[in-house]
Structure formats: C-alpha cells, structure tokens
Amino acid sequence: MDALAGKHAVVTGASRGIGLAIARSLLAQGARVSLMARDAAGLDAAARELGGGVAWQTVDVTDPASVAQAFALAGVVDILVNNAGQAASSPFMRTDAATWQRMLDVNLTGAYHCIQAALPSMLEAGWGRIVNVASTAGLTGYRYVAAYCAAKHGLVGLTRALALELASKGITVNAVCPGYTETDIVQEAVANIVRKTGRTEDEARAELASNNPQGRLVQPDEVAHAVTMLCMPAAGAMNGQAIAVAGGEVM
C-alpha cells in the first residue's frame, strides 16, 4: 500500500465530502497529503481525523494571490487534485451575471490557478499527476444548472487540452466525472427541490438517484477510488480521459 510513497499530493476542497475521501485514499497509498479549502476549522478537523501529520492551508481558489501563497507553503507538488467546486441551480433566465461568473470562477478558473501553481515543480521533476474532479454535468446537459454545466464542460476541455500539451513531459491530466454523489452539495440540491416543489426529502433524493441506472447516489469513496487509480505510477498511459463515476448514467 505504498505505491505513492515519496509523492506529495495537494487536494483542494478537501475539508469534507469527496475531497476528504480522496485525501484518505491517497494517504492509504503512502502519499504525503496537503489539504486545501477555504474553511480553516473544517480543514483542521479533517487533518485531525486523517492523522499522520497531514498538512493544511486555507485557500480561495478564485484568488490568484491566495493560491500562490498556499502553494508556496505547500512546497513541491507531485499530484494535484482539483476538487474545489460549487453548484448553483436556477432557470437560465433567472441566472444573473454574478452567479454565472461565480460558477466559472470556482469550478473552472480555480483549477487553472492551481495548475499554474503546481505545474512548475512537476515539469522540473519530469513526473506528475493532475486530476480534475468535474461532473457528469461536464459530459452532458442538465436543466436549471446552465452555468455549472458550462463550467464543468470547460474543465473537461481544459483537461483534454493540457493532457496533449504535457503528454511528452511525464505528466498526465485526467478528469473524474461523478454523478449525483452523497455530499453536502447534493443535500443542498435536495433542500432546494423540497423548498420549490413541496416534495418530501425522500422523494427529492429518489429523484436525483433516478438519474443513475443503479438507482442510487454515488458514494464519495467510489469517486476517491477512481481519482487514486489515475494518480498511480502504473496509470501513465491514462491521459486526457474524462471518466464517469455514475453507475452507467453517461456512456
């Protein structure tokens, strides 16, 4: 279980949910892990839960200065997992410019800033793994989340373009695209459905789960497993892929 021994991984959005599950999985493979997110208290709690001297830095991925400072403190990065993200739901004609821009800033431009900060050390080492946590919304369309879909499609496009650019450098770039996953974001979506439609929480959860042919929500550990696989030294031929973790929803 030490396939990633000697490698330093940075995971953004790592204080909870999918990001915390990814950090735990990478640690289990021997990596040294630094957690990044906006919430210092959440990061501290996550680091204490993981144990083993896990480091953490607060970061706002939408702010280039904040990203530069956090990555300077983190040091050399071998593995970058861009997991920080947000989702906002509204009909397109009620999606204001501020919401549109926020979805792009957090879900797409944030990954750009973090890659800019982490890539130099990977290029110097001649080895690296970049995994962008996108969404099935980056592979298909969903009603009422146009801005989120646009941002996640952009993240998949960035993944593919950068994978080709770095293909001869020993660095792979891939995306993992979860379907509806048991996270706080999905809980917020459930609350939104309940508030707007009057359905019960169980009915709202069942509606989201119905998108998955397996009839269930994806679990964070399942997403983490896919991410960790792409970070392995043996995954060197996996490059430019957008892997759906969604029970067959997207093929």
Q: Phi first, then psi: give them for residue 73, nearest 5 degrees.
A: -70, -35
β-strands 171-178, 242-245 pairing? parallel
Tell which residue, 4, 236, 250, 242, has the closest CA to residue 133: 242
Q: Which residues are known to be catalytic?
A: 148
Residue 202: both structure tokens together: 């169980």
Contacts of 26 (CB under 8 A, 6+ apart): 4, 9, 11, 33, 79, 81, 227, 228, 231
Task: Answer positive or negative: Cα dihedral of 126, 243, 104, 160.
Answer: positive
